[in-house]
């Protein structure tokens, strides 16, 4: 009887947990996006002021609880030398956020190539992809439509994709993207969540 009661209690107190990679070129705004996400979804979290965020060399991590699940974020450095390490995290990820600096038009093709190389990896098969067209608050930035047009040339394959305009600096577009990604990860039966204590 104890085993049955304990099992039921565990079932009631456990939460589904997903791991999400945040990737993109250096200075795209990945860490600022992560900080704004934690601020929006974690009550009482104030976060790092945007002007204090520095270039990531290695890994930043974050965690939020939303829509009845827990999400662990891995924000990886985007310098060319660090991109070689990205694939070490693919097999453990349930979703992927790719941040594009829309204001840096001269690096959009470089960003697209990096994205195309990344999604060709078999370890990301079926994982929902969220592209953040960041820095939409800057005049002359590439629009979401322009980003969509550029990135549609990539081999998305059989997976969900959404492109959301955002300003990580001002916290705009964060909520919509995260909500869409959580729904996509819940639908993806190829990568079931882990169970953790709530």
Q: Residues at the annotated binding site?
A: 24-31, 56, 78, 134-137
Cα→Cα distances 27→113, 135, 140, 157, Å: 16, 11, 17, 28
Output the known binding site for GTP: 24-31, 78, 134-137
For residue 82, what are the contacts with CB-CB under 8 A and spacing of at least 6? 57, 58, 76
- Encoding tokens for residue 173? 């577009």
Q: Quick one: 68 exposed, middle or buried, by C-beta within 10 A (0-12, 13-18, 19+)?
A: exposed
CA 62 to chain centre: 11
- Encoding tokens for residue 30? 């990945």
Active site residue 79: yes
Per the residue annotation, which of 14, 36, 67, 79 is the catalytic one? Answer: 79
Q: Tell me the catalytic residues.
A: 79
């Amino acid at each position: 009887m104890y085993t049955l009661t304990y099992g039921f209690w565990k079932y009631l107190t456990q939460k589904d947990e997903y791991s999400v990679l945040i990737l993109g070129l250096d200075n795209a705004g990945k860490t600022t996006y992560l900080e704004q996400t934690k601020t929006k979804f974690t009550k009482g979290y104030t976060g790092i002021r945007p002007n204090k965020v520095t270039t990531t060399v290695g890994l930043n991590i974050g965690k939020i609880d939303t829509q009845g699940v827990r999400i662990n974020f891995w924000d990886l450095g985007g310098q060319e030398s660090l991109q070689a390490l990205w694939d070490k995290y693919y097999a453990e990820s349930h979703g992927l956020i790719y941040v594009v600096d829309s204001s840096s038009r001269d690096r959009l093709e470089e960003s697209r190539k990096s994205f195309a190389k990344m999604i060709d990896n078999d370890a990301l098969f079926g994982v929902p992809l969220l592209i953040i067209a960041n820095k939409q608050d800057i005049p002359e930035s590439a629009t979401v439509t322009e980003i969509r047009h550029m990135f549609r040339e990539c081999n998305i394959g059989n997976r969900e994709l959404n492109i959301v305009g955002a300003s990580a600096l001002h916290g705009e577009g964060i909520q919509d993207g995260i909500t869409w990604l959580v729904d996509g990860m819940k639908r993806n039966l190829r990568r079931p969540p882990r169970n953790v204590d709530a």
